[in-house]
Each structure stands twice: as C-alpha cells, then as structure tokens.
Structure 1
C-alpha cells in the first residue's frame, strides 16, 4: 500500500462513524452479556447447561464489565467517574463479602417431637434440656436391633450389618446407591439386617437417594432408571456460576433478587440467599422428585426451566427417622469443621453420651447452634449436602445461629466413614451387646485410594500434597487397616477393580452415560465377588448358630 492509502485507512478507522459503530457494538455486547448472566442467575436449574459454557460466559462478562468501569472512570462527567470507580470497588470487594444469612443451613421446627417420657442425661451437651427417650441414639440402636431380631427370617437372622460409604462426588453417590440396591436384591436379609450407615461426602446423598427409593418402590429394575435420572444431571454448573459470579453478586446486593423472587415463588422453601449450596440442594431435589414420580425428561427446556415440577416440602432429617419408627437403618452423616479441625457427626437421634463419638461436634444437640436446639431440625437434603461441601464448587456452611463453626466435606477428616462406625462398635462393646459376634462391616469404596509413591513431589508442593493425602488416604487407610485387624473376615470391602476403566472417572458432580455404564458393571462385579463373604458368618456366630440348632450333638 502507498502512503496515501494507509492514511485513508487510518482516517476510516478513526472516523466518527467508525467510533459510533464500535461504541454501539461494545454496548450491545456488554448488555447482552449482562442479560445472559442475569438469566443464569434467575434460572431454577442449570443442570442442562455445560459448565465450560458457563465459565466462558462469566469470564466474558467480567472482562467487559471491568473494561466498561475503566471507560467510565476516565470519562469527563463526574457522575460517570463515580460510577466507574464504584463498579471497580464492587468487583474487588464483592467476592469477599459474606453477609449474615449466606451459606447458612437454617434450623427448622422439629415437627414430630413428642413430650412423653422426657429424660435428661448427665453427658448431654451442656444446657440441652430433656428430650423424649425415643430420640436417644442409644435407644434407637437398641430398638433397631430388636426390630432386626423380630422381623428377620430364621435363614438370614445371623449377620447384622454396618455399612460405610466412601466419598467421591457423583461417582460415590451413584456407586454407593447402586451397590446397596444390588446387595438388597442378592443377599437375603441385607436390608432388614442393616443396623446403620456411616457415610462421607458423595456417598451421603447416594445413601439418601437409595433410602427414598427403597421405601417407595423396592424393585431393582426401577431403581436403575431412578438412579440414572438423578446422576445424569450436571450439578457442576450452578456451583461454578456461584463461585465466579452469583454468590458475590448476591452478597453485594444483600440477596435482593432472591427476596423479590420469593414473593412470586410457589415454593414453600425460602432462603434469604440462593447461594451455590442452596442451588445444588434444590437441583438434587428437583431430580429426586422427578425420578420418584417417573417423570424424567432430558429435554433442555424441561431440565433448565423445570416447567410443571412440583417443589414439594423436603424431608426433615430427624423427623424422617421419627416417622419411620425404626423400620429403616440409622444414617450417620459425617462432615468436617474447618476452624477446629474436628469431625462432625450429623445424627437423626440425640446421643445420650456425647463422648460416644470421640472428639466430634454434634450440631443437632449442641445449644451453641440454638438455645432451643432440642426442638430444632434441618432437612435431610441439607444434612447430606453438608457432608459433600467440596471446596470451590461448594462453599463452607454454618448451621443455625453459630457462625464460628464452618463445615466442609467430611473427607477432610477421614474419607471412609469408618471413624464413626467404629465409635458405634466401641459403644456396643461398652454395653457388652450380644450382637457384636454377629456384626459385619461392609465398606463401599468407589476408588482404590492407595498410596502412590512413584515420584517425589516438588519441594514447594510437598507440604500441600501431604496435607491433602493425610486425611483422604493416610487416615482413612489406617482406620481400614485397624478395622481389618479387628474384624478379620467380618469386614468386607467392595472396591473398583485395579484394571477397570472406572478408576478414571473423575471426582465430579456430572456423570456421562459412559461413566454410569462403567459404574454399573463394576457394581455388579463387586457384589458378585463379595456376595459369599457378606453372607458368611464368623466362626463364633456360626458355632452359636449350630449350638442353637443342636447341630453339635
């Protein structure tokens, strides 16, 4: 090009017409991204939206937003300068704001509590008033054992099971629920003879989903489609959107949009903030309600806007067990408190002796969470969600009125649920329970979780690697080793085959059809391999059974 042609092009690029058109395009793009992300914020569910698409949309908005604020800050008019600087301050400060009420699990009224047979125990949490004897965990364990004895068939009345579930996102949820369903169908008396579950992280909602279906429709074929509908959902997008934009936006404006939405919402459930934890809980419940009703629909609009879906009142945690009157295994949910580094046990029953769970926080009977905690409850969904609050995609939560304790994924203490299960075993030992000779521990692992020492870590990363590996691998495998020594053949571990592709399924809240197929194959394989070991009696229990039948004579 000649010099005059270059000058002509430059004049065109810097002309008033080009500037006006560029400004028009700039503002169009900016407001489009604003509306786009506002739509994400308002959507009832983001399970049908690809997580990477959410990340790109949010970052595009943030880049344009910062540039727009910079543009205002250098404008001539004072009010534009003020808006520009204010926008930049909001961008820097909003992610660090957590107003009261955000990331809080609210306490609810305990609806099924009675005022009969009130008792107090010396080792209740300090200040906890008398409660109905039916609510004591020790009594609930005894009643569940009696229920097992009275309802089991003679042929399957020997083993009593404690089931532990390992953490691991949706992989753990699906695998745990699937294995429980298969054991229920393959091992006579497994469901009826299970004393309790102790679960961590993803296996906690998986166990809840299994229980809901087991009570509603105990058919294996229905269970498969039921679980697939729940776990084909993508529960990552809401967490990612909340982390990058949604939660900061709510914090900066005090949950204003959600408060306005609540005025027009048909839902009976209301929270001041629709933070990423709340979003994920609601999406789980959407999927659960659809699966139970058999109305699963994979269409984009159906999954995204949830037309016609009944948002029913969620199950209360303690209320759920008080209503079912010892007919189902007790579910002990494990989480972790950040500031004290202590295990936290969420139990649907009140421990008469708080030392039953060694050095553990027990929020549902601790008056630091509410002066009236004896009359308070949380939803079952919130209980299991507290167990799987993995960083970034979820946020640390507080419970009730106590903002000093923050709870995250239970795997940060121990990822198998064995710590709590072995505490129950020690309690049974302390009362010399006769069921000890018949007790069998079943651990459902969705990963091999073996130590890897193939190469050394970088010097700067070594401490961080150790901090992560200690609870997830070291602590968990130490308890597993102790359990195997203690129970020997009465401890059965179901885990992935080392050569199977399932070990490559990442720790995520989104499973593909291929993932689910691989998990199904592994679940079936593991149940077949371990079925005989789960049925088998210990030598002591077998001898007792022979004596009772007169076989030794």
Structure 2
C-alpha cells in the first residue's frame, strides 16, 4: 500500500495531481506551485505544535529575560551546573517527542468507525507524517539558535542544509542495513561531542556553546532517523489490515507501549513538579520547554480521543456549549481564591495600635538635628529606588550596604524615608535584612558587602513559569478555596534565599543546604516589626529607622497603593491608598478624623509587602486584598519611586519652615536609578503598526513618561532649594556590558567575561547625534548572571562614585565622628574612569539660572 503522505517528494506529486497542476520534472517548481496548499495544511494539522514553538521562540529569543538565562547557562560558577544542561536537553527532546508521536490505534479506530459514512476518514493516509517528522526538529534548532546573539541567519542556513541532506538521504539510502549503520554512527558522534562538551563546560564559554549547538543539531538528525523508522513500522502494520480478534492496541504494540509510557511519564513528572516544587526547582528554560511538551501531548490526546467518531465530536461540542451556558447563567468565573493575600502566620506585635503620623517622625528628626554638635549640616536623606527586577534590587541594596560599611553603620541613621517600587522593593527587603542583623552595630563586617550578590544569583523565574503553566492555572479551573499561588511561592523562595545568604555571610559551612524554619527568616517577620518595638505596655517607633513607602498599583483603577510605616495624610498623599493602614488599623481616617473605611486587622510579612510591589503581569499574579482590590507591579503607576519621595519632601519642607530646628541641615534626595538616564527626545523612530501604538503608549507611560517627569521634578527641587540636593546614583547599562572595561584581573576570566558581555547585549541603536547606544534591557530579570552581578558590584565601588556622593559620605562620618574603614574589600575591582558617575551640576545650574531669571 502506498502512503504519499509519508514522503515529501511523493506528497508534492500528490498535491499537484489533486489540483491538476501541470506536471514537470523540476521538483522545486512543483514545490513552489503547491506551497500555499502545503502551508495551509501544515497550519491546520499542526497549529498546536506551531503555537508552542512560537511561544518558546518569543520567550527566549525576543523577551529580554532570555539573554540573561542563556548566559547563566554557560558562565563559570553557574547555580545549576551540568544537570541544567541535561534537563534542558531532555526538555527539548520531550517537546520533540510530544510533537511527533501519535496513538496509531486511535487513528485506525477512527478509520474503522467512519468507513460506512458518506465521507469516511483515512487518518493514516491524511496525517502529514513527513511534516510531523520535521517540526519536532525545530525545538533543537531554536534552542541552538537562542544560545547565540545575532547569528539567526547562520542557524536558519544550518537548518535548511540539514533538511536538504535528510531529503536526499531518504531518496538515495534505501538499504535498511546501511540506515542502521548511519544511525549508530550519528549516535556515536553525539555521544563523543557530549563528552567533549562536558570536559570544557564552565571552563570555556563560546567554545562550549558551539559544541552544544552542534550536538543539538546532531541530536535532531538522530531523532529524525528514529522517527522515520517508527513511522514506517506503523504504516507497515496498518497496510497488513485488521486481524479478527486482535485489538488495535495490540496490533500497534510498540507504538502503544511508547505512547502510554509517555503518558505515564508526563503524569508522574507533572505530579512531582506540582507537589515537590522546591526539590524539583528546574531552570526556567527547562521547565518551560517541558511544560510546553506536556500541553502539546495533552491537547493532541484530547483531540485524538474526541475525533475517533462523530458521536464523540457531537458529545464534546454539546458539553462545551453546556459549559458556556452554565457559565453565563450562573455568572461562573475562574477561581481566584488563591490570589487573595493571606495573613502572616508569624503574628504581629502591632495589636490595637496606631502608626505614627508624619509630625511624630519630624519631631524625632528635629531632635537629631539639634543634637548635632559637629558644625556640619545634618544630612537628611530621602531615598528613592527605581523599578527593574533583580537588577534594581541589587543596585539599591548594594549601594546602601556599601554606604553603611563606609560609614561604620552611621549612614542608615540619616535616612529619613525610603520609597521603592517594583524591583527596588525587593532590594528594600535585602537592606532591612542587613539592618536587622547589624542593628546598633558600630562597625560593619566586610562580608556583608556580598549579601546582595548571594541573594540575586538565585533563580526566581522557574516558580513563576511553573505557576503560570501548571499550579495556578489548574487552581483557577477547579472550584475550592486555595491558599497558595505563584506569588506566595516566590515569597518563600526569596525568604529562603535571603536567610541562606545571611548564613553564608555569618560563615556557616552548610548555608546552602540547611533547613530553615519560618521564624528564622527575616522576610517572614511581621511588616510592622521592622518599624515598631515594645515600650512598656505600648509601642514606639524604632530609633533611626526611616519612614518606608513601598509603592504598588491597584489594577482596578490604576491608583497608587502604598505599604507605609506611618499614616498617610490625605493632604499630600491625596490619591494614594493606605494599604498598610487598611491591613493593620481599626479604621482609616481623613485629615479631619472622619473615618473613610474600616480596617481588616490582617498582619502581613515584609516579604509580602515587597512582593506586592513587584507583581509583573504573567510572571506573577495580581494580589487581591479582601475588600480593597487587586494590586499589581507598582511600576504600572509610576516606576521611579520619586512620586512618593516628593510627597515626603513637601511635608518635610513645610515642617522645616514652620518649625525650624536649632541647627543646620541639608536634604539629599538620593535616587537609585538602574536605567541609563539618557533621554533622546528627538531620536529617530520608525512607524509602528496602528493597533500596537495605543498599547505601546499605555505601557511606556508609567515606565518612561511618569518616571522622567518626577525625575525632572526632583532635579528642579534640588536646583531651587538651597538646602536640598538631588543626587542620582545611576547604573549605566552600556558601560555594564562594555567588554573594554574589565571587571576581573585574571587573563582567562577576562577573556570569558568579554565573550559573555557581548552575548548579553539586546540591541545597539544609533542616536540622533551619531553615537551608538547599547541596550541592555531586562526589566523582568529575576535572575542575574554572575558576570552582571560582579560588574554591578564594581560599578557601586567607591572608586566609581561621583564627588557629591563622596562628599555626602564624608559629611555623615564627620557628623557621627567615625573614621573610614579599610578599603580592602573593594580592591578586587578594577578602576575605570569611564564608570565614574558624572555629577549633576550642569542640569542643576541650568534650572537654577532659569528660575532666578524668571
């Protein structure tokens, strides 16, 4: 029996005959004629497989997170090592198998059940075997292609060449013995390259990537040969007809064994991932690839089952219609119970208490200013942290911990307020962990300088993918009251990673492999614990602890929500939702004492508050606060954190003018900015699709428009107020990936670093003035490569600070009569003048001059 759908060349001839195309001996001309038909039939027959391939390509090749994931796969001292390579390759193989395999007995059963109908089905004649052997090769090609930055055409060419060679292989190599020998040869070659790869893995970078890419192509050839042989076996069995008394499952024995084995393996692994999330903490790309393979297999299986007969199709259609009707009549919607913010299990000391108002915090500040006998202006520091994932968290925490080390713990005493958003709120958790473990210290051990690096080298992406594709999705579809979601899993991961980082700093040998209970985790402690302590029968605000404003955004109306350590007066925070007041106090009142709403008295942890500020869509879920609304990433309202800081500044300015302290002071608005800070208002821009323009504008406005507005407003304040200084501390991404500015001194490591940095670049754009700008854009990055961490630490070292920052630190030391500690911890970082942060005096002087002229 002939099966033209099993051979590409024969299928081309078949379609030409079906459409009465003029026959010719030129194969490529015939292919060109039937190409639209081939594309349509492929899309119709393999739309599910194509969708997941496209999704995989978008995540790793187009989303900015992908580059950092790929780099961390190969750089030395990676957190997963060789097992990550094995799991990633197995995940790609799993996706390939799920795209290829079919339950042959179901196909034959469909043929038998429809043979008496007016339009009988012949699925084994219609199934595009040749195409379903080619599409499963794409996961290996895509994975190999995304390993490299900007070499897409090379991999497209390699893929086309492989298809051409396989085409002629099928045409010329007929003898099965020779085919078996070729299969053994390809398998042996794959094994040899794998041994070679693992011998240089984490020692070389580019060479290791090249070897893995080659091996992925070799593996794709090997599985193709296996698929071709298995498909031929299915068709041979089918052509032999039905034997009376023999079940179809038995007839296709080998295919059935393999298919049910895949089903069993998928079921077991999914259950393990579901119930043992921390023990099976796969790398993000491995988990994503594997879950894609599960969905391809499951969706295909469902379609195979219902398409066996017309009755099953009708039953499925009626069931679907019934479900839609039930949803409409009973107003059924997805279960979102697991997205509700739950109370902190560790309890709270903040019972029947009220938070301080701004006046109380000002009175404490006034006493500190008047107690200053140094003759220096007392520094009042207002800290703002920009959003940006782990990059923002590392940049904020690394600088503030460095400042504390350089002033022997005195710097924190002068921070009057801290306003953070998104990634910098994660950094706030790191800072408070450091402060809580070094409370009242008169000297800071240099080992604490590596606390941020240890925390942010962890994988905070895998659980988000697992929740998005597995746990949270299933909970949404099943009625019931669920407690945990991917947000709470992320909070647990951050709390454990932070606690283990503290153990490492303190010198524990088994810091990375010990069990830690919740009561020992800093981020699991009550939010109010960090600001209030017992004083007799009451509570008092902790001495030298800043006002904290953790910014989030209510998705219901786009308003700003704030987890604040003090009451938020409506006069200044006139459109802000006082989330902490709603959670902790009896009621929220306006400035005249009239109650606005009743509180729910539900304590939360510091980790929960910080997490509610960083809930980027898809990767995290909205956090629902009962009765108040759902909250998402604070960057969707305003991404700089400066808006809340300027609210504090306005109140502070009025208090200082109306009730001035007896002593000199100076206000510093310290802006920890992890973006480039360069504004190209007139850079050339290409036209965009009309439908995308509104979405692009809406998405960019809070991250670019609002952030820039409040940055300029803060700069204006620093220019016109003689007692205020706007002090931006910027991380420049284009310097961060500049391979000419080495972050290490060892020659071998310097070479590897150069190769890694080139691979991190997302894009290079030409500005209007002709200069080139490097785009290192990973706003979703909850995973930082070791190279980036090291270079961010280098950028934050004292040698790369601008004059104004050093002047502030010297002022803090003089006010507190402390000497400088040893500079030895920073000596490991090379010094580059190009990394030195420029002063902001030019822009400040322009504004001041314009103000005076006006």
TM-score by length of 2: 0.52
Q: Residue deviations 1:410-458, cap 9 Å, x none?
A: 1111111111011111112333353795211100001124445332341
The answer as to 2:484 corresponding to 1:274 is yes
- Which structure has more RCO (C-alpha within 8 Å, separation ≥ 6)? 1
The alpha-carbon distance between structure 1 residues 137 and 378, as it changes in their structure 2 partners (threshold 3 A), is farther
Q: Give the 3-state SS of the residue equivalent to 2:411 in structure 1.
A: coil
Q: Residue deviations 1:468-506, cap 9 Å, x none?
A: 221111111111111111112611001023640256262
Identify the match of residue 362 of structure 1 among 571, 578, 591.
Answer: 578
2-side partners of 1:225 and 1:491: how far apart?
Answer: 28
The answer as to 2:416 corresponding to 1:195 is yes
In structure 2, the partner of 1:251 is 476
The alpha-carbon distance between structure 1 residues 450 and 399, as it changes in their structure 2 partners (threshold 3 A), is farther
1-side partners of 2:232 and 2:630: how far apart?
Answer: 64
Aligned 1:473-552 pairs, distance under 5 A:
473-488=704-719, 490-497=725-732, 499-502=734-737, 504=776, 506-507=778-779, 508-524=781-797, 526-527=800-801, 529-535=803-809
The answer as to 2:546 corresponding to 1:311 is no
Q: Is the 8 A contact 1:183 1:527 kept in 2?
A: no
2-side partners of 1:469 and 1:150: how far apart?
Answer: 45
The alpha-carbon distance between structure 1 residues 307 and 371, as it changes in their structure 2 partners (threshold 3 A), is farther
2-side partners of 1:72 and 1:88: how far apart?
Answer: 18
Q: Is the 8 A contact 2:281 2:463 kept in 1?
A: no
The alpha-carbon distance between structure 1 residues 516 and 530, as it changes in their structure 2 partners (threshold 3 A), is farther
The alpha-carbon distance between structure 1 residues 254 and 35, as it changes in their structure 2 partners (threshold 3 A), is farther
The alpha-carbon distance between structure 1 residues 77 and 283, as it changes in their structure 2 partners (threshold 3 A), is farther
Q: Give the 3-state SS of the residue equivalent to 1:336 in structure 2.
A: strand
1-side partners of 2:258 and 2:565: how far apart?
Answer: 57
| Residue 528 of structure 1, CA deviation | 5.1
In structure 1, the partner of 2:341 is 105
Q: Unaligned regions of 5+ residues in structure 1, if any?
A: 116-130, 257-271, 542-553
1-side partners of 2:233 and 2:292: how far apart?
Answer: 36
2-side partners of 1:170 and 1:27: how far apart?
Answer: 42
The alpha-carbon distance between structure 1 residues 408 and 10, as it changes in their structure 2 partners (threshold 3 A), is closer
Identify the match of residue 376 of structure 1 among 602, 607, 610.
Answer: 602
Q: From the CA coordinates, give the structure whose radius of gyration is larger.
A: 2
Q: Give the 3-state SS of the residue equivalent to 2:446 in structure 1.
A: helix
In structure 2, the partner of 1:25 is 258
| Residue 79 of structure 1, CA deviation | 10
In structure 2, the partner of 1:430 is 654
In structure 2, the partner of 1:216 is 437
2-side partners of 1:83 and 1:296: how far apart?
Answer: 61
Identify the match of residue 391 of structure 1 among 610, 617, 627.
Answer: 617
In structure 1, the partner of 2:564 is 347
2-side partners of 1:14 and 1:319: how far apart?
Answer: 75
Q: Residue deviations 1:85-136, cap 9 Å, x none?
A: 979999xx9xx95425221112459732365xxxxxxxxxxxxxxx54xx12
Q: Is the 8 A contact 1:104 1:398 kept in 2?
A: yes
The answer as to 2:649 corresponding to 1:442 is no
| Residue 144 of structure 1, CA deviation | 4.3
1-side partners of 2:233 and 2:358: how far apart?
Answer: 88
Q: Quick check: 460-469 or 161-170, which moved more? A: 460-469
| Residue 536 of structure 1, CA deviation | 8.1
The alpha-carbon distance between structure 1 residues 10 and 40, as it changes in their structure 2 partners (threshold 3 A), is closer
Q: Unaligned regions of 5+ residues in structure 2, if any?
A: 4-174, 176-230, 241-247, 534-540, 589-595, 738-774, 816-854
| Residue 76 of structure 1, CA deviation | 7.3
In structure 2, the partner of 1:458 is 688
TM-score by length of 1: 0.78
The alpha-carbon distance between structure 1 residues 80 and 279, as it changes in their structure 2 partners (threshold 3 A), is farther
| Residue 254 of structure 1, CA deviation | 4.3
1-side partners of 2:488 and 2:609: how far apart?
Answer: 12
Q: Residue deviations 1:224-281, cap 9 Å, x none?
A: 332222111110111112112221112223468xxxxxxxxxxxxxxx3321111101
The alpha-carbon distance between structure 1 residues 26 and 87, as it changes in their structure 2 partners (threshold 3 A), is farther
The alpha-carbon distance between structure 1 residues 302 and 179, as it changes in their structure 2 partners (threshold 3 A), is closer
2-side partners of 1:237 and 1:345: how far apart?
Answer: 28
The answer as to 2:302 corresponding to 1:41 is no
1-side partners of 2:391 and 2:322: how far apart?
Answer: 40
Q: Is the 8 A contact 2:336 2:476 kept in 1?
A: no
1-side partners of 2:450 and 2:810: how far apart?
Answer: 31
The answer as to 2:459 corresponding to 1:234 is yes
2-side partners of 1:478 and 1:30: how far apart?
Answer: 55
| Residue 211 of structure 1, CA deviation | 1.6
Q: Is the 8 A contact 2:390 2:784 kept in 1?
A: yes
The alpha-carbon distance between structure 1 residues 296 and 455, as it changes in their structure 2 partners (threshold 3 A), is farther
Aligned 1:162-201 pairs, distance under 5 A:
162-187=382-407, 189-201=410-422
Q: Residue deviations 1:141-192, cap 9 Å, x none?
A: 2254156447867366611101100100000001110010112233574211
2-side partners of 1:409 and 1:531: how far apart?
Answer: 30
